[in-house]
Homo-oligomer: A and B are copies of this chain.
Amino acid sequence: MPGSLNVFPSQLTRFVRCYSVAAESIPAAKKKYVPSEGTYPLGFKASGILVGVKPGNTTKPDLALISSDRPCAAAAVFTKNKFQAAPVTFSRDVLKKKGNQGIRSVLINSGCANAVTGKGGLEDASLMARAADETVGNSEDGSSTIVMSTGVIGQRLPIDKIIKNVPAAHDVLGSSHKDWLACATAICTTDTFPKLMSKTFTLPSSPGVEYRIAGMTKGAGMIHPNMATLLGVAATDAPISPTVMPTVLKQAVDRSFNSITIDGDTSTNDTVALLANGAAGGKEIRSEDSPDFAAFQEVLTDFAVDLAKLIVRDGEGATKFVTIRVTEAASEDAARKIASTIARSPLVKTALYGRDANWGRILCATGYSLISEPGHAVAEVPEIIPENTNVSFIPTDGTAELKLLVNGEPELVDESRASEILELEDLEILVRLGTGGKEATYWTCDYSHEYITINGDYRT
Binding site for B on A (CB under 8 A): 1, 6, 8-9, 11-12, 80-83, 115-118, 152-155, 221-222, 225-226, 254, 258-259, 263-268, 333, 336-337, 344-347, 350-351, 353-356, 358-361, 363-368, 370-375, 378-379, 381, 384, 386, 389, 405, 408-410, 447-449, 451-453, 455-460
Contacts and interface: CB of A to CB of B under 8 A. Distances in A.
Nearest to A222: B347
Contacts of A333: 373, 375
Contacts of A117: 410
B254 A452 contact: no
A346 B264 contact: yes
30 contacts: A6-B354, A9-B355, A12-B354, A80-B368, A81-B364, A81-B367, A82-B367, A82-B370, A82-B381, A83-B367, A115-B360, A116-B360, A116-B408, A152-B360, A154-B359, A154-B410, A222-B347, A264-B346, A266-B364, A267-B368, A268-B363, A268-B364, A333-B373, A336-B374, A356-B456, A356-B458, A356-B459, A361-B460, A449-B449, A449-B452
A222 B364 contact: yes
Given A226-B371, A267-B364, A353-B456, 19 more contacts: A80-B372, A80-B379, A81-B367, A81-B371, A83-B366, A83-B367, A116-B408, A154-B360, A264-B345, A265-B364, A265-B365, A337-B373, A350-B451, A350-B455, A354-B458, A356-B458, A358-B459, A447-B452, A452-B452
Contact of A408 (B81, B118, B370, B405): B118
Interface residue SS majority, chain A: loop
B80 A378 contact: yes
Contact of A225 (B268, B359, B373, B447): B373
Contacts of A386: 82-83, 116
B351 A456 contact: yes
A154 B117 CA distance: 51
Given A154-B359, A408-B116, A226 B374 contact: yes
Given A82-B370, A355-B8, A258 B452 contact: no
Contacts of A371: 80-82, 226, 266
A354 B222 contact: no
B116 A363 contact: yes
B354 A456 contact: yes
B346 A455 contact: yes
Contacts of A381: 82
Given A83-B367, A354-B455, A386-B83, A374 B222 contact: no
